[in-house]
């Protein structure tokens, strides 16, 4: 038999998670039923309330349970720096690198074919944030894809109109990477971005 | 910042799933929040009702929403064959290989040090099933681990006392496997189990 009824429904529902195929979903379902029903019930409850209660910060648009996220609400962040990223996961990544300024989360990238324009990315909201007192530099950290680059270019124009300094994060050979295994596009960027030593 | 509050709780709760570490859990949480809240809510609901409503078949002990599972309730299974496996996931695996008899699921293996004896494995229940009319052969398909082998040996004795034929699934080089990459224990089993061609 194939799994039937609720078990099949559970395996199927688990596949909403990225990276979880049929086989992994099956393994997870069996594991939870056999050994971890309490933690599975806990996951169910947390999942429900997270989906219901986590919204977006009204200022920077990252995920937040409160109207203003912990970062925007903190007085220990460098208010002169604003880093623009595509997604809340990117905020986490940049935080781990030691950045201590503010963020603005686009929740996407410019993609006219998919109907994603300046409005969907909250660029009006961003413009308001650019106008706040004390702002000095905007770091554009969108992904180095065609759409991410186009978005960076568009935002660069916006920021310059405000008279602020605007920078783009560097792209090149990743730390610990070996030239031999790095794609030619990345090496071309690394060459173009070379610096005196 | 590290994730805080509900988001951190969600990432943490997702780690109840086998194979999901901190990084994957984070990726899943962000993905669901950003793109798939409806499916995440659906997963939450299915997870809850699966944990509450899926129990065990009173006859063969596999997972079942009903008192008797679909396999035990079917009249199209070969009642003369009984295959003994360690877990409900094994039932699925044996089904996929084309087996069409009945099953008995131990939900574990003999492991005296962990306090798992004949009672925990439902061997009394198994004995009752051995005594049902028409039963001819019992196939022991516990895993080829030390504990699985000990369990197979113990069950073999039980079945022989009932005067039924008892067999063990073959162990050897897996189909498509290459000798060069197979461990020596498996090759030893394959040699010992050699057959005329």
Residues in CB range of A140: below 8 A, 6 or more apart: A84, A152, A155, A156, A166, A167, A168, A169
Interface size A-B, in CB pairs within 8 Å, comes to: 158
Give chain B positions within 8 Å (CB) of A76. none
Q: Do A47 and B26 touch (CB under 8 A)?
A: no
For B45, name the nearest residue in chain A, comparing CA atoms only.
A44
Considering the domain boundaries, does residue A183 fall inside one? no
- Asked whether residue A106 falls in the same domain as residue A150, the answer is yes
- Asked whether residue B103 falls in the same domain as residue B153, the answer is yes
pLDDT value at residue A1: 45
Q: Do A19 and B24 touch (CB under 8 A)?
A: yes
For B50-105, write each residue's pLDDT tens digit.
Answer: 999 999 999 999 999 999 999 999 999 999 999 999 999 999 899 999 999 999 99
Which ipTM was obtained for this model? 0.82
For B6, name the nearest residue in chain A, comparing CA atoms only.
A50
Considering the domain boundaries, does residue B32 fall inside one? yes
- Asked whether residue A47 falls in the same domain as residue A87, the answer is no
Considering the domain boundaries, does residue B9 fall inside one? yes
Q: Which of A18, A47, A53 lies closest to B43 in CB terms?
A: A47
Element (H, E) at B146: helix B146-161
Considering the domain boundaries, does residue B186 fall inside one? no
Considering the domain boundaries, does residue B131 fall inside one? yes
Q: Which of A14, A70, A87 lies closest to B1 in CB terms?
A: A70
- Asked whether residue B90 falls in the same domain as residue B163, the answer is yes
**Residue among B14, B46, B86, B87 with most chain A CBs within 10 A, to mutate:** B46
- Asked whether residue B134 falls in the same domain as residue B98, the answer is yes
Tokens standing for residue B125: 């229940």
- Asked whether residue A81 falls in the same domain as residue A139, the answer is yes
- Asked whether residue B118 falls in the same domain as residue B42, the answer is no
Considering the domain boundaries, does residue B67 fall inside one? no
pLDDT value at residue A3: 58
Burial code (b: 16+ CB inside 10 Å, e: under 16) for B81-113 equals bbbbbbbbbbbbebbeeebebbbbbbbbbbeee
Give chain B positions within 8 Å (CB) of A31. 17-18
Q: Which of B31, B32, B51 lies closest to A40 in CB terms?
A: B51
Q: What is the CATH number of the domain that holds A25?
A: 1.10.8.420
Strands B137-140 and B101-105: unpaired
For B149-192, write each residue's pLDDT tens digit.
Answer: 999 999 999 999 999 999 999 988 888 888 888 888 888 888 88
Structural domain that includes position A34? 5-53
Average pLDDT over residues B136-153: 94
pLDDT value at residue B181: 86
For A55, name the nearest residue in chain B, comparing CA atoms only.
B33
- Asked whether residue B32 falls in the same domain as residue B107, the answer is no
pLDDT value at residue B125: 94
- Cα separation of A188 and B43, whole Å? 45
Considering the domain boundaries, does residue B164 fall inside one? yes
- Asked whether residue A112 falls in the same domain as residue A31, the answer is no
Q: What is the CATH number of the domain that holds B87?
A: 3.40.1360.10
- Cα separation of B91 and A26, whole Å? 12
- Cα separation of B145 and B157, whole Å? 18
Domain total for chain A? 2
- Asked whether residue A88 falls in the same domain as residue A157, the answer is yes
∠ CA A169-A172-A178 to the nearest 5 degrees?
A: 145
Rg of chain B over all Cα atoms, to the nearest angstrom? 21
* Confidence bin at B1 (pLDDT 50/70/90): very low
- 10-residue mean pLDDT profile of chain A (197 residues): values are 78 95 94 94 97 96 95 94 94 92 95 92 95 94 93 95 94 86 87 85
For B96-135, write each residue's pLDDT tens digit.
Answer: 999 999 999 999 999 989 999 999 999 999 999 999 999 9
Considering the domain boundaries, does residue A178 fall inside one? no
Q: Do A70 and B4 touch (CB under 8 A)?
A: yes
> Distance of CA A100 to CAs A27, A126, A140, B118, Å?
41, 18, 15, 60
pLDDT value at residue A182: 87
């Amino acid at each position: 038999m194939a799994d039937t009824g609720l078990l099949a429904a559970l395996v199927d529902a688990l596949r909403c998670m990225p990276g979880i195929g049929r086989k992994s979903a099956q393994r997870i379902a069996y594991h939870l039923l056999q050994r971890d029903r309490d933690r599975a019930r806990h996951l169910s409850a947390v999942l429900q309330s997270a989906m219901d209660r986590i919204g977006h910060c009204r200022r920077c648009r990252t995920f937040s349970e409160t109207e203003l996220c912990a970062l925007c609400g903190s007085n220990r962040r460098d208010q002169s720096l604003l880093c623009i990223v595509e997604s809340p996961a990117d905020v986490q990544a940049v935080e781990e690198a030691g950045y201590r300024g503010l963020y603005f989360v686009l929740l996407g990238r410019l993609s006219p074919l998919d109907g994603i324009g300046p409005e969907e990315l909250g660029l009006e909201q961003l413009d308001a944030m650019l106008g706040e007192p004390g702002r000095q530099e905007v770091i554009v950290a969108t992904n180095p894809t065609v759409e991410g680059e186009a978005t960076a270019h568009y935002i660069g124009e916006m920021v310059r109109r405000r008279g602020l300094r605007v920078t783009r994060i560097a792209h090149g050979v990743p730390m610990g990477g070996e030239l031999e295994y790095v794609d030619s596009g990345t090496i071309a960027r690394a060459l173009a971005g070379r610096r005196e030593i």
